[in-house]
Amino acid sequence: MEIYQSPVSNSDYFGQNLGSASSPAKPLGIITDLAAAPITSGLRRSQKLSQAQKSNRQQNRRLAKKRHRILVEKVLTKEFLGEYLKAHPSWRRIVDCGKYAAFVKSKGENKAHQANITVFWNEEHERAHVGGLAMCANVKYCPECAPKIQARRGAEIVQAVDFAYKGEPLYYENGEVAYYGKGKLVGMLTLTHPHKRDDAMSFLVKAHSLALSKLKKVRWWQKTKKDMGVVGTITAFEDTWGEANGLHRHTHTLIFAEDTSKLDVERLRQEWIKACKRAGFTIDAETHKNMEQHGVDWVPCCHASDYLQKLGAGYWGLERELTAGAAKKARSVGKRYTPFELLDAGKYKIFQEYMLATADTVQLRWSKGLKAWAGIGEKTDKEIADEMQEHSEPVAVVRPDEWLQIRRKDLECVMLEVLEDCGVDGLKAWALGNGFNFYFVDKQSLHIDDSPPDG
């Protein structure tokens, strides 16, 4: 086998960048005569995506980029990091997110090498993106990483709910799949706690977690779980902030069970109020009444469409509501902000307080064994962030110094939009016009080898 020695490291093409989670062992072939081949006339354009969808997505990318800039300049300031970086060293990575090439290790390599910063085209999603960068993978505070990771986490949730309703799959020899029909039910429980404007965020966050663990220990709850035949739970923590009432933290828990009708909601309301009291919340008569109305919400059989109806917004699906904290806009009742909207609104001090209060919390928690039950592999946020480029084709390699220039001039979004709107030829013209010397990977010279790997 002859391997062309190009300025592009081969291991990137054969190993890291093109490898996908579903087919890690599959060789991706060799690049032949990369430089000599003529440049093709651009990528295959498909018409799946409407112009409105495309521009919506481009706007979201610009917004994420803008928020990251604001976060770095106004929130993660020298003074703030100077004071808290020691306790939270991972926050440094948010500052440098997407700035430098990642260090990657290919199969059989002892030493990690620097990846190529590569512009990719994803045909399936008709999307351009940049790969080979060291991303921070912070799902709570990074405006760029959060939506991407949450989208993947959302897909996992949909997969689990789907699996629960359908039951165990049976695979036939002819490739068809049938289901046992021993499906489970999925209920959705929303728990909210009382809060006032002058409650410290750190208190609210701690007390909410404490109330949850107190509730879990109540004998009635333990027995109810047994009666319901609970297989597992997924809990998402969601926060909004409002001028009038401060931090509003609540949890949405999906309960996977044999029979969700066995939950006595009235009893649960009382137990939740008791748990909140024991966790340190002050509950006077008025708050008590309020909590009886709003503290607990239970949907015993939760399909995505049920949830859409519940929201009345006609937009957010079950999976979005559970994990789209980053993308979701707080409904405008009394103007509440999602965490990232705090950045848009210039509430930097509030965002700092929010980071400090929630630093040790998770955003999404699967009960032990549920992923395995639903046939979903365990992946860290970092692994998910690293895999973003799967199923994408490399289009051009960008030199690290050029990349820093692109970032400094705030040209990342423009560059990707040019590729999405005008194809490879457009990107070539754009690079030339801006004085960049990208290394273009010619599509026709990429020979995809489908034969099984040796040995």
Residues binding Zn ion (CB under 5 A): 97, 135-136, 142, 144-145
Nearer to Zn ion, 90 or 305 (CB): 90
Give me the least distance between CB of 339 and Zn ion, in Å please.
14
The DSSP output letter for 8 is: S
Q: Which residues of 75-106 are buried (b: 16+ CB within 10 A; e: fewer)?
A: bbeeebbeebeeeeeebebbbebbbbbbebeb
Contacts of 329 (CB under 8 A, 6+ apart): 338, 341
Residue corresponding to tokens 């695979």: 171
Q: 246-257 and 177-179 as β-strands: parallel, antiparallel, unpaired?
A: unpaired
Amino acid 164 reads A
- Give dist(CA 387, CA 390) in Å, integer: 6
- Give dist(CA 34, CA 12) in Å, integer: 15
- How far from chain centre, in Å, is Cα 287? 35
Which of helix, strand or coil describes residue 225? helix
Give me the least distance between CB of 134 and Zn ion, in Å please.
9
Give me the least distance between CB of 126 and Zn ion, in Å please.
23
DSSP letter for each residue of 423-448:
HHHHHHHHHHHTT---EEPPGGGB--
- Give dist(CA 176, CA 168) in Å, integer: 14
- Give dist(CA 307, CA 397) in Å, integer: 44
- Give dist(CA 38, CA 167) in Å, integer: 52
Nearer to Zn ion, 104 or 139 (CB): 139
Give me the least distance between CB of 420 and Zn ion, in Å please.
21
Nearer to Zn ion, 142 or 236 (CB): 142
Nearer to Zn ion, 43 or 406 (CB): 406
User: How many degrees, rounded to 5, is the angle at CA 236 between CA 144 and CA 198?
Assistant: 85
In the structure encoding, which two tokens stand for residue 19, read together?
């490898």
Give me the least distance between CB of 95 and Zn ion, in Å please.
9
- Give dist(CA 185, CA 404) in Å, integer: 51
Nearer to Zn ion, 127 or 195 (CB): 127
- Give dist(CA 201, CA 407) in Å, integer: 34
Give me the least distance between CB of 156 and Zn ion, in Å please.
20
Give me the least distance between CB of 133 and Zn ion, in Å please.
10
Nearer to Zn ion, 145 or 231 (CB): 145
Nearer to Zn ion, 89 or 433 (CB): 89
Phi then psi dihedrals of residue 94, to 5 deg: -65, -40
Nearer to Zn ion, 95 or 283 (CB): 95
Nearer to Zn ion, 142 or 161 (CB): 142
Phi then psi dihedrals of residue 282, to 5 deg: -85, 120
Give me the least distance between CB of 402 and Zn ion, in Å please.
21
Give me the least distance between CB of 144 and Zn ion, in Å please.
5
Give me the least distance between CB of 135 and Zn ion, in Å please.
5
Nearer to Zn ion, 93 or 274 (CB): 93
- How far from chain centre, in Å, is Cα 400? 26
The DSSP output letter for 260 is: G
